[in-house]
Structure 1
Amino acid sequence: MDKQPDRLPPLNALRHFEAVARQGSFASAAVDLHVTHWAVGKQIRLLEDWFGVPLFERRASGVVLTDEGAGLLDDVSGAFRRLSSAASRVRGDAAVRRISGRVRVNVLASFALCWLLPRLADFQAQFPDIDVRVSTTSRKLRYIGDAYDIGVRSGHEAGQAVQSRALMADVRLPVCSPTLLSRLPIQQVADLRHHTLLHSASTRAGWSHWLDAAGAAELKPARHVEFEHAYLQLAAAIEGLGVALVSLPLIQRDLAAGRLVCPIPAPTWRADDYTLVTHPDRADDPAVQAFERWITAMAEPEGVLKTSRP
């Protein structure tokens, strides 16, 4: 029997392709895969030669998928997800549950309260023998030494003592309580002049960016109120004290429960991505790796954010 031609592209090259597409640069993909920038470039060239078409446009700021590359990414990402699911089934829950240890997780306070803690029971159910210790600070993780194993920050963290990669996008929109909206309707951006705009100390420039993108840079609201922390700003919005510009990944549960609504669906403002940071001395620890896989899987659905409006 004649040998059938190989219809599968080099699988290791596909893994490198997916990492570059996800990270947006060869350098970031190299960090993610724990290989050199040169090794990533070699695998991408190998894959492009195999297909006979360019998969990325090389730019000074990074790389962008070509039309062929974007089409390939959809299939590759789906195949990797199915393969991961199949591997988990074969390994079985017993193998997962045998992982034990301790993970020290350091995150922003607002991220802890609004995103991590509501989901943490899922991790504990999957890994009952892993002790998770959560702490909060806004300091750069490279400045807190060995006091963490894995963390989440806003924006890229650089330095020899950290390994970081994008976790999920931070997309922001104005939100308010349904009660406030029924009392003072918001049909267009100009209606915000009748409302109190809520700010936090760490995001005080957010409204200026959003209003400028909305073509209303000169808008004067009825009042400004600032809170020390973003989670206090969010709580104030839920209580009907005003309109807040908040991170959509942090409020998906509030939107689903009807505690908050997004009266103006556009434009969105893209803040710095949430970044997952791993201490290099703990990157190979099975408990840390389990938490990294779990939080990455939990963050993936946030790529398609849902807003609601009455």
Structure 2
Amino acid sequence: MSAPRRFLPSISALRALEALDRLGSASAAAAELSLTQGAVSRQLQALERQLGLDLVHRDKKKLTLSPEAQEYASEIRAALNQIAQSTLRLQTAPLAGTLNLAILPAFGMRWLMPRLPEFARLHPDVTINMTTRLEPFSFASEPFDAAIHFGRAEWPGTDALLLKHEQLLPVCAPDLVVGTALRGPKDILNLPLLHIQTRPEAWSDWFAAQGVEAPETVSGTMYDQFATITQAAMHGLGVALMPDYLVEQDLATGRLVALHPAPTETRGAYYLVWPTSKSNAPALRKFRDWLATKAQPEDPLPR
């Protein structure tokens, strides 16, 4: 069902309103839009007539928006950006299409990137653009067709493909434990612990999985990304609880040592998620079908 015309003002009028709100003056809005101030004023007048509302306060030559108009401008800004992004994708996409993918930096670099050359060979007609996003977002307001997500498959309005369960391993620089007797997981509590912001309960959950009674709040220093916490661990600042796929090379070369014999599976997992409305997009379908061949089984552990 299409919306009545009175609810769909012209793009030119909406751009004038948004620019006036963002820039604060009609002259600045006119300069950005390559219009005269009079043309900006006429666009706003036409918008007021169509909506049947007073949106602009006119004090001599100065134009200011009402509080209601400011809120309206803020809401339509995302829609205008979405239109611009969609138009850009349409103009620049090759025949088979472009996939705009939001990725998690560590997982994207260490797990996804080494596998992508195969996809490029199989589907040279698909272009994948990647941008880092650390937290879930609204697909309605961001120009992404899919995203790599860590957690559970509970992103509203999306479908999901499980890629990999996360398994954690406590690691540190070899020098940190020289002369230290580590008889079991409980002794790790006596070492400085490093935390990652995206996994605030990771250490508590890990100790619980090992049957260790740990303090309700496990103290330690906090890091925002795996790249920085890995460097902190390698420089002897403490023990980091790391996904096994991220530290394979560092363990193999001796830059890090593992303080537990085997990784421990966590409650979270990595997923490819995409808006249900885009499920049949050709580029996304090709990428999803290929990625499914790289994913691990749904439930690898006995329950």
TM-score category (smaller protein) = 0.5 to 0.7
| TM-score (ref. length: structure 1) | 0.55
Range 141-150 or range 190-199, more displaced: 141-150
Aligned partner of 2:130: which letter? Answer: V
Aligned partner of 1:236: which letter? Answer: A
SS of residue matched to 1:116: helix
Q: How many Å separate the matches in 1 of 2:300 and 2:281?
A: 31
Q: How many Å separate the matches in 2 of 1:117 and 1:144?
A: 26
Structure 2 unmatched ranges of 5 or more: 1-93
Pair 1:132 & 2:125 matched: no
Name 1:158's counterpart in structure 2. 155
Name 1:292's counterpart in structure 2. 288
Q: How many Å separate the matches in 1 of 2:220 and 2:214?
A: 14
SS of residue matched to 2:187: helix
Shift of residue 227, structure 1, vs aligned partner? 0.9
Aligned partner of 2:274: which letter? Answer: T
Name 2:163's counterpart in structure 1. 167
Percent of aligned pairs sharing the same letter: 30
Name 2:87's counterpart in structure 1. none
The 1:103–1:172 alpha-carbon spacing in structure 2 relative to 1, beyond 3 Å, is same
SS of residue matched to 2:121: helix
Shift of residue 191, structure 1, vs aligned partner? 3.0
Q: How many Å separate the matches in 1 of 2:191 and 2:269?
A: 29
Aligned partner of 1:151: which letter? Answer: A
What CA deviation, in whole Å up to 9, does each residue of 1:207-249 have, x standing for no partner?
11112222333379x9722112233223322444321112224
Pair 1:247 & 2:208 matched: no
Whose Rg is larger?
2
Structure 1 unmatched ranges of 5 or more: 1-97, 306-310
Structure 1 residue runs of 4+, over 3 Å off?
A: 141-146, 177-187, 249-261, 301-305
Aligned partner of 2:119: which letter? Answer: F
Shift of residue 197, structure 1, vs aligned partner? 0.9
| TM-score (ref. length: structure 2) | 0.56
Name 1:227's counterpart in structure 2. 223
Matches within 5 A, 1:78-97: none
Q: Which has the higher helix share?
A: 1
Q: How many Å separate the matches in 1 of 2:291 and 2:256?
A: 25
The 1:224–1:144 alpha-carbon spacing in structure 2 relative to 1, beyond 3 Å, is farther
Aligned partner of 1:280: which letter? Answer: T
SS of residue matched to 1:124: helix
What CA deviation, in whole Å up to 9, does each residue of 1:112-155 have, x standing for no partner?
23322343333333333321111121332445545211211122
Pair 1:148 & 2:144 matched: yes
Aligned partner of 1:172: which letter? Answer: L
Q: How many Å separate the matches in 2 of 1:100 and 1:256?
A: 41
RMSD, aligned CA? 3.6
Q: How many Å separate the matches in 2 of 1:301 and 1:185?
A: 38
Pair 1:282 & 2:242 matched: no
SS of residue matched to 2:127: strand
Matches within 5 A, 1:1-310: 100-142=96-138, 145=141, 147-154=143-150, 155-160=152-157, 162-178=158-174, 180-181=176-177, 184=180, 186-218=182-214, 224-256=220-252, 258-265=254-261, 268-300=264-296
SS of residue matched to 1:237: helix
The 1:241–1:184 alpha-carbon spacing in structure 2 relative to 1, beyond 3 Å, is farther
What CA deviation, in whole Å up to 9, does each residue of 1:60-94 have, x standing for no partner?
xxxxxxxxxxxxxxxxxxxxxxxxxxxxxxxxxxx
Alignment coverage as a number of residue pairs? 207
The 1:302–1:157 alpha-carbon spacing in structure 2 relative to 1, beyond 3 Å, is closer
The 1:126–1:187 alpha-carbon spacing in structure 2 relative to 1, beyond 3 Å, is farther
Shift of residue 102, structure 1, vs aligned partner? 1.1
CA contact (8 A) 2:139 2:275 kept: no
Q: How many Å separate the matches in 2 of 1:214 and 1:153?
A: 27
Q: How many Å separate the matches in 1 of 2:249 and 2:122?
A: 21
The 1:256–1:141 alpha-carbon spacing in structure 2 relative to 1, beyond 3 Å, is farther
Aligned partner of 1:290: which letter? Answer: K
SS of residue matched to 1:203: coil
The 1:165–1:198 alpha-carbon spacing in structure 2 relative to 1, beyond 3 Å, is same
The 1:120–1:165 alpha-carbon spacing in structure 2 relative to 1, beyond 3 Å, is closer
The 1:158–1:218 alpha-carbon spacing in structure 2 relative to 1, beyond 3 Å, is closer
